[in-house]
């Protein structure tokens, strides 16, 4: 019983032969294949690499058996012996060993042999798809192995591959492909031995005969129709004395790495070697010189790093990083090969921000390591981290795909290298600090309201005295001075400025307003307490430290006889920062500040000049501006019951109390006086001398009344009745006790 392959409908060889001459007729080929698919619907199962047997199930309860439909049984790469009508196989439909009438055997993508009883020699073939009829009652022996090279050593394989690539058979095939304006790229050189040996060892456990891409041809097509033409031409390779031995379509079905291509292995009999032909679209290739993808080496270099990486089994962190790396690679290839919709790629790319805009932070894992140490070390994870960081710093995409790839890589960097809760860029640090400031202001309502009424302060290089009263003295805008001071370039490594003013002159509020201005001026527009992260932050960002109320900690700090000065104790020398120090007038001298801040050691080289700025009292214009803002804020926030009071009313009332009018030159007292002025008017006759103590007392009483009212309202909501006067008395005692305790704690 001589075995011969039957005509294969699935190959459509005759049809393709006629169609191949005209690319436009590819549509006809598709229709023929569609008809073929309709026919395949009458079969159960599908063919897979290796041995595939087709037969009939005899299980009466099986749907395939009832419909008398043939089923495919996948054996895979194996060696089997059976008698067609006596050996039972598992049915893919009912999952029972009830397939015992085999009528056909198909070998797919394998080197195989088949022999029937009575045949003197087996049929041996390596065509990618061969089908043989099976006759009832005969015994058959089938073998199928994965395709392998037949070289004796690596050099022999290289020699065979090079000869085959330059053979007349391959050249004729390439010429045929080029007739259809299909680009065929031959590598300039075969892969080097060092790279090959590494790949053979890692990927194939040292078996060089499993390597097929020593010399791979890349077939580049303008569109999917051209790709179908290229595949059809290559499948007719027998006319060029070549054999199609393996056909893997990863264009419509995703490969492991999500590269999109159609891979065909051609056997060159003359040289007994397999050559790989990889067909794809020009839009999807990353081949240098032919690609339209920005930074085409990125995905391949990323793949090469994670391909050889065997993470430490005992390290959960390494295992997670490896899994995330694999996932990131497929995500990048999804963009390159358009496995995801164009609109979705655009959405991803819209999140792109360049390194120059956000400034990527150097990963703490790389701290203290130079490039040579990382490159020559055995820690692949460090090489991977360095690679990703470098790519993010150097890659500046301009196209949609390039930007989307950058975003995917940055997301991976932020989540798995830096840590999701840690900043990955200077922009992240800025965002964290801004959010912290926003939250602080939301919780500090009094400060928020004070900022609403802020009036720019005037200053001078010497303190204000009563002798200056009424004189026209030239002052300068304090904030403008500070901004110019901070922007001014200096030979000094660090710059320090001291701001002095009387208690209540507005130093703290000025600092808050300056902070707000600096944030607004920050060009990016846009906390984690992990030491490694803070080191990275210090290296990449410049700061302005505002030490407000420095005189309040001076006595305690100097009393402790600290071995290290303030500047060293808090490691301020490690920060790229300038300093603004505020203190009350006449409390600390310039030498006091220098001594406690830095000591007298000149090693810091930053205190040769330390300007001192003195705040001056409010002028009449500033007072008017403040009162105007206060009235507007009062109406907006309904701070008290005197919403009808106007700016003119406040100013006229102040003029009736000369000593109050003198007090309102200080911003802090001005706010207190305006808050209680209507109440003071009720208590004191016009022209009466009202002391600071009386102002404080009135403000304190009003503050208590407001809070007592709030407490009473809350209790009423809970239907709890209590005497308001009793609440006030209890609350007042509580506040006094709290005040004494705070004073005691402060020493």
Strand runs (DSSP E) across 365-495, as ranges?
A: 458-460, 476-477
Helix (H, G, I), strand (E, B) or coil at 562: coil
Across the range 268-284, mean pLDDT stands at 96
Cβ count near 237 (within 10 Å): 22
Predicted TM-score (pTM) of the model is 0.72
**How many Å separate Cα 177 from the centre of its chain?**
43
Residue intervals in the chain for CATH 3.30.460.10: 154-292
Across the range 677-693, mean pLDDT stands at 87
Burial grade of 471 (CB within 10 A; 0-12, 13-18, 19 or more): exposed
**How many Å separate Cα 543 from the centre of its chain?**
25
Sign of CA dihedral 58, 63, 66, 69: negative
Tokens standing for 388? 């990703």
Helix (H, G, I), strand (E, B) or coil at 383: helix
Across the range 113-133, mean pLDDT stands at 94
Report the run of H or E that residue 319 belongs to, with start and end: helix 316-336
Cβ count near 436 (within 10 Å): 11
Q: Is 3.40.640.10 the CATH classification of the domain at 154-292?
A: no
Sign of CA dihedral 370, 376, 377, 380: positive
Strand runs (DSSP E) across 562-657, as ranges?
A: 576-584, 612-615
In the chain, % of residues over pLDDT 90: 41
Task: Decide if 613 contacts 498 (C-beta within 8 A).
Answer: yes
More confident residue, 537 or 36: 537
pLDDT for residue 20 is more than 60? no
Band the pLDDT of 388: cuts 50, 70, 90.
very high
Tokens standing for 592? 């006091």
C-alpha span between 697 and 596 (Å, rounded) = 37
C-alpha span between 701 and 601 (Å, rounded) = 51
More confident residue, 387 or 524: 387
pLDDT for residue 571 is more than 50? yes
C-alpha span between 189 and 166 (Å, rounded) = 12
Task: Decide if 603 contacts 518 (C-beta within 8 A).
Answer: no
Helix (H, G, I), strand (E, B) or coil at 483: helix
Task: Decide if 493 contacts 602 (C-beta within 8 A).
Answer: no
Burial grade of 459 (CB within 10 A; 0-12, 13-18, 19 or more): buried
Kindly give, in sequence order, each residue whose CB lies less than 8 Å from that of residue 15, ignoring residues fewer than 6 positions away. 29, 32
C-alpha span between 546 and 549 (Å, rounded) = 9
pLDDT in tens, 67-76: 999 999 999 9
Strand runs (DSSP E) across 593-641, as ranges?
A: 612-615
pLDDT score recorded for residue 33: 52
Give the chain's radius of gyration (CA, Å). 42
Longest distance between any two alpha carbons in the chain, whole Å: 133
C-alpha span between 631 and 635 (Å, rounded) = 6
Task: Decide if 510 contacts 478 (C-beta within 8 A).
Answer: yes
Tokens standing for 391? 């790519």
| Closest listed residue to residue 590, CA positions, set 551, 549, 558 | 551
Q: CA triplet 9, 14, 15: central angle to 5 degrees?
A: 85
In the chain, % of residues over pLDDT 70: 86
pLDDT in tens, 320-375: 999 999 999 999 999 999 999 999 999 999 999 999 888 899 998 998 888 888 88
C-alpha span between 699 and 647 (Å, rounded) = 20
pLDDT score recorded for residue 35: 46
Packing angle of the helix pair 316-336, 297-307 (nearest 10 deg): 150
Across the range 1-8, mean pLDDT stands at 52
Cα–Cα separations (whole angstroms), residue 166 to 153, 185, 234, 275: 20, 13, 17, 11
Task: Decide if 581 contacts 498 (C-beta within 8 A).
Answer: yes
What DSSP designation does 684 have? S
Give the lowest-confidence range in 444-458, 559-573, 627-641, 700-714: 559-573
C-alpha span between 690 and 633 (Å, rounded) = 26
pLDDT in tens, 484-516: 888 877 655 567 888 888 888 888 889 888 888
Across the range 448-472, mean pLDDT stands at 81
The b/e string for 353-380 (b: 16+ C-beta within 10 A; e otherwise) is bebeebbbbbbbbbeeeeeeebeeeeeb
Highest mean pLDDT among 240-249, 582-591, 679-688: 240-249
Q: DSSP readout, 108-163?
A: ESSEEEEEETT-SS-EEE--SEEEEE--TT-EEEEEEE------SSHHHHHHHHHH
Edge-first strand order for the sheet with 261-268 is 183-185, 216-221, 273-281, 261-268, 243-250
C-alpha span between 127 and 236 (Å, rounded) = 12
CATH topology of domain 429-615: Rossmann fold (3.40.50)
Residue 676, CB half-sphere, CA atoms under 13 Å: how many? 25
Tokens standing for 274? 């397999």
pLDDT for residue 21 is more than 70? no
Band the pLDDT of 151: cuts 50, 70, 90.
very high
């Amino acid at each position: 019983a001589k075995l011969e392959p039957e005509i294969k409908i699935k190959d459509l060889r005759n049809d393709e032969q006629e169609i191949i001459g005209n690319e436009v007729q590819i549509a006809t080929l598709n229709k023929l294949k569609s008809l073929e698919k309709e026919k395949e619907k009458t079969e159960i199962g599908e063919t897979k690499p290796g041995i595939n047997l087709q037969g009939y199930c005899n299980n009466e309860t099986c749907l395939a058996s009832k419909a008398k439909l043939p089923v495919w049984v996948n054996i895979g790469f194996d060696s089997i012996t059976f008698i067609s009508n006596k050996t039972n196989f598992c049915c893919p439909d009912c999952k029972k060993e009830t397939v015992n009438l085999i009528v056909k055997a198909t070998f797919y993508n394998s080197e195989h042999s088949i022999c029937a009883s009575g045949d003197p020699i087996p049929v041996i073939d390596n065509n990618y798809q061969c089908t043989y009829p099976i006759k009832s009652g005969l015994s058959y022996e089938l073998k199928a192995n994965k395709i392998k090279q037949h070289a004796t050593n690596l050099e022999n394989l290289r020699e065979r591959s090079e000869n085959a690539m330059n053979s007349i058979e391959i050249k004729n095939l390439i010429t045929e492909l080029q007739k259809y304006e299909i680009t065929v790229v031959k590598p300039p050189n075969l892969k080097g031995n060092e790279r090959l040996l590494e790949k053979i060892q890692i990927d194939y456990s040292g078996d060089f005969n499993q390597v097929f891409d020593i010399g791979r041809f890349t077939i580049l097509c303008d569109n999917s129709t051209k790709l179908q033409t290229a595949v059809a031409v290559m499948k007719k390779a027998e006319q060029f004395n070549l054999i199609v031995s393996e056909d893997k379509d990863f264009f419509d079905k995703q490969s492991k790495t999500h590269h999109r291509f159609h891979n065909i292995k051609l056997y060159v009999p003359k040289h007994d070697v397999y050559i790989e032909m990889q067909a794809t679209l020009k839009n999807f290739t990353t081949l240098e010189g032919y690609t339209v993808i920005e930074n085409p080496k990125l995905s391949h270099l990323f793949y090469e790093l994670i391909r050889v990486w065997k993470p430490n089994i005992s390290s959960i962190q390494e295992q997670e990083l490896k899994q995330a790396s694999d996932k990131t690679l497929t995500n990048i290839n999804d963009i390159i090969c358009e496995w995801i919709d164009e609109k979705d790629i655009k959405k991803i790319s819209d999140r792109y921000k360049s390194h120059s805009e956000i400034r990527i932070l150097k990963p703490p894992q790389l701290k203290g390591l130079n490039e040579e140490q990382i490159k020559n070390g055995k820690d692949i994870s460090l090489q991977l981290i360095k690679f990703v960081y470098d790519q993010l710093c150097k890659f500046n995409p301009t196209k949609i795909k390039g930007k989307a790839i950058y975003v995917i890589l940055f997301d991976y960097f932020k989540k798995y290298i830096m840590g999701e809760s840690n900043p990955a860029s200077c922009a992240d640090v800025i965002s964290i600090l801004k959010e912290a400031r926003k939250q602080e202001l939301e919780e500090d309502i009094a400060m928020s309201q004070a900022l609403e009424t802020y009036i720019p302060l005037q200053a001078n290089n010497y303190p204000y005295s009563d002798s200056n009263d009424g004189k026209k003295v030239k002052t300068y805008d304090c904030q403008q001075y500070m901004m110019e001071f901070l922007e001014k370039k200096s030979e000094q490594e660090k710059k320090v400025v001291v701001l002095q003013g009387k208690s209540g002159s507005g130093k703290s509020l000025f600092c808050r307003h300056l902070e707000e201005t600096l944030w607004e001026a920050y060009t990016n527009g846009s906390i984690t307490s992990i030491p490694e992260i803070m080191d990275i932050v210090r290296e990449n960002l410049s700061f302005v430290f505002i030490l407000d109320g420095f005189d309040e900690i001076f006595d305690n700090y100097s009393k402790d006889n600290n071995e290290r000065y303030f500047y060293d104790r808090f490691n301020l020398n490690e920060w790229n920062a300038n300093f603004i120090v505020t203190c009350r007038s006449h409390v600390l001298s310039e030498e006091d500040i220098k001594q406690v801040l830095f000591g007298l050691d000149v090693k810091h080289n930053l205190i040769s000049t330390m300007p001192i700025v003195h705040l001056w009292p409010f002028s009449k214009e500033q007072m008017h501006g403040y009162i105007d803002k206060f009235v507007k804020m009062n109406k907006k926030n309904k701070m008290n019951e005197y919403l009808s009071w106007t700016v003119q009313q406040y100013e006229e009332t102040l003029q009736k109390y000369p000593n109050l009018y003198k007090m309102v030159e200080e911003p802090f007292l001005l706010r207190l006086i305006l808050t209680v002025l209507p109440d003071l008017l009720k208590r004191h006759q016009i022209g009466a001398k009202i002391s600071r103590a009386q102002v404080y007392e009135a403000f304190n009483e009003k503050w208590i009344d407001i809070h007592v009212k709030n407490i009473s309202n809350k209790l009423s909501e809970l239907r709890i009745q209590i005497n308001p006067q009793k609440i006030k008395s209890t609350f007042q005692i509580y506040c006094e006790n709290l005040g004494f305790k705070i004073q005691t704690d402060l020493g």
